[in-house]
Structure 1
Amino acid sequence: MSQSQLVELDEAAVLGHAGQALAHVYFPTDCLISLLTHRVQPRSFEVGQLGYEGMLGAAAALGVSASAFDAVVTGAGRAWQIELPHLRALTRASRSLTLLMTRFLYFELSQMGALAACAHFHTLEQRLARFLLMSVDRLRVADLKITHEALSLILGVRRASVTLAAGAFQEQGWIQYSRGHMLVLSRAGLLQVVCACYRQDLSTYDQVMLGSTAAQ
């Protein structure tokens, strides 16, 4: 896309607010973007996560005027940025692009439903393992730059609860945590405790984005 540019996105940067229109659409290359329920008291939590496999703004590109969630960078890195009017014009001109974005929007909605249920039914340890595995998959690195405060926002719990759960993982030798860095040492260990939502997320993406494309 000639109208796009590669931009650096800092951790905690807010790319969109719930109820407001997006100015740009983002295609992450090595960053992580979390979709959060509107940040009002007492807490919010993550209902969607985007990495190199996805985009922020699929609904906007298809004509929806306002964002449904807050979009916050939870893993610093780079993304391709394109102004929304340009992408809308490209989408209107290409049936294939429209179809691809519709599929991704379906996957995104499926993920949101799964994560909302996950927040209600599964333990903090299961949800923390899911977040860490999803983040490693999407960032393609084992060293995650994230604080306990950011994790408490994403998981919708008190910071002290995150500290206890992360401490238990560190005692098991699954992660190593220091100064805003969380290094995943054992995927196998995290897979022992993670809830079914993690595998469901992977399976749905393969079916919708890869299986459907191959079937055309």
Structure 2
Amino acid sequence: MWFRTDERAPDFYIEGVQIHAGLKMVSVKELDRNELLFSLPMELRESLAARLEPLSLSDGQIFREIGARSTDVIFPLSCIVSMDYVLKDSFSAEFLIVGSEGVIGLESLFDQRPGPVRMVALQGGTALRIDKDELRRRFLDVQAIQQSVFQYTFSQIRLMAQTITCNCRHRLDQRMCRWILSVQDRSPSRVIKITHEMMSHFLGVRREAVTNTVGRLQRDGMVEYSRGYLTVLNRDMLESEACECYQAGLEVVSLRRMNGQYPRRSCEQATLETTCWNRSTPVMRRR
């Protein structure tokens, strides 16, 4: 089922940053690409599809500056967003990665600012947006949405707590392996477009430390890095090198798995849709 409101959606702005919207047409099937939207009842997704708008983010695009108030709630489809906490001296570190399993901007539903947080498109791609007032007015009192929002928020709190503990306790090489795996889990490709400078900001360490650690992973045959592109060569080795936080994070990254809900699809389709790679072969499987 398709919904169309006009010929083309105009470009719009999120806190002064121009975002390119495509054709203003969203299918109910398109909502299935986002875990949180997928968990909702069909009739509710059909109603949401009529009000969601597609948007596109480019690699490395900063689409929400520090402390900016959001006017939209965004559901990533193929893009991956890094949420970074920034101190007054400009030091920053990533505390959360959000992909198609989640949503961005929930704080706007309660008229809250996110604080000194910068949001960057770690991987460009598509997403769906809805005006916060529209979502709050029409849907926030719906029990199914309330339940999904609260459960998702709780899962993100768990992930943030784990990230804080991990950054304090584990070695950089362990954390980097966890980070690489977490990004790839949200992407259909084993190639990550990333510079050492960007990775140093996300991990909260000096660039030289990132360069040395990536070099060791490359010498050990886990990854290959060339001109801003990091390719995963051996996922099994990365998993064995990563700290315990990676496996623990898998338990909360998916709403469907966390809630014990099974997809409205065949088992064969579910098997193909996992965010986990089988060794170094780009074929996904469900854990």
TM-score in terms of structure 2 length? 0.70
**Aligned to 1:135, what secondary structure does the other structure show?**
helix
**Aligned to 1:150, what secondary structure does the other structure show?**
helix
2:70 maps to 1:22: yes
2:245 maps to 1:197: yes
8 Å CA contact retained: 1:32, 1:51: yes
2:137 maps to 1:89: yes
> How far apart are residue 214 of structure 1 and its match?
3.4
Q: Which runs of 5+ in 2 are unaligned?
A: 1-48, 263-287
- C-alpha distance in 2 between matches for 1:31 and 1:67: 20
Residue 80 of structure 1 aligns with which residue? Answer: 128
Residue 50 of structure 1 aligns with which residue? Answer: 98
Map Cα deviations across residues 72-108 of structure 1 (whole Å, 9 max, x no partner).
1111111112222122223324111111011111111
Letter in 2 for 1:191: E
Residue 12 of structure 1 aligns with which residue? Answer: 60
Residue 157 of structure 1 aligns with which residue? Answer: 205
The 4+ residue runs of structure 1 with deviation greater than 4 A are none
> How far apart are residue 126 of structure 1 and its match?
0.7
Deviates further, 190-199 or 13-22: 13-22
- Larger RCO (CA under 8 A, 6+ residues apart): 1
- C-alpha distance in 1 between matches for 2:121 and 2:96: 12
Q: Which runs of 5+ in 1 are unaligned?
A: none
> How far apart are residue 140 of structure 1 and its match?
2.3
Identity %: 27
Residue 183 of structure 1 aligns with which residue? Answer: 231
- C-alpha distance in 2 between matches for 1:213 and 1:134: 21
Match of 1:70 among 118, 141, 166: 118
Higher helix share: 1
**Aligned to 1:6, what secondary structure does the other structure show?**
strand
With over 3 angstroms needed to count, the CA separation of the structure-2 counterparts of 1:64 and 1:198, relative to structure 1, is farther
8 Å CA contact retained: 2:192, 2:231: yes
Residue 166 of structure 1 aligns with which residue? Answer: 214
> How far apart are residue 209 of structure 1 and its match?
4.7
> How far apart are residue 18 of structure 1 and its match?
4.3
Match of 1:140 among 178, 185, 188: 188
Deviates further, 130-139 or 7-16: 7-16
8 Å CA contact retained: 1:114, 1:197: yes
Letter in 1 for 2:185: D
With over 3 angstroms needed to count, the CA separation of the structure-2 counterparts of 1:90 and 1:175, relative to structure 1, is farther
8 Å CA contact retained: 1:60, 1:84: yes
Match of 1:210 among 247, 254, 257: 257
Map Cα deviations across residues 31-88 of structure 1 (whole Å, 9 max, x no partner).
1101111253252111111011111123333x14211432211111111122221222
Which structure: larger Rg?
Answer: 2
Q: Matched residue pairs, number?
A: 213
Residue 98 of structure 1 aligns with which residue? Answer: 146
**Aligned to 2:186, what secondary structure does the other structure show?**
helix
With over 3 angstroms needed to count, the CA separation of the structure-2 counterparts of 1:211 and 1:151, relative to structure 1, is closer
**Aligned to 2:236, what secondary structure does the other structure show?**
helix
> How far apart are residue 124 of structure 1 and its match?
0.7
2:162 maps to 1:123: no
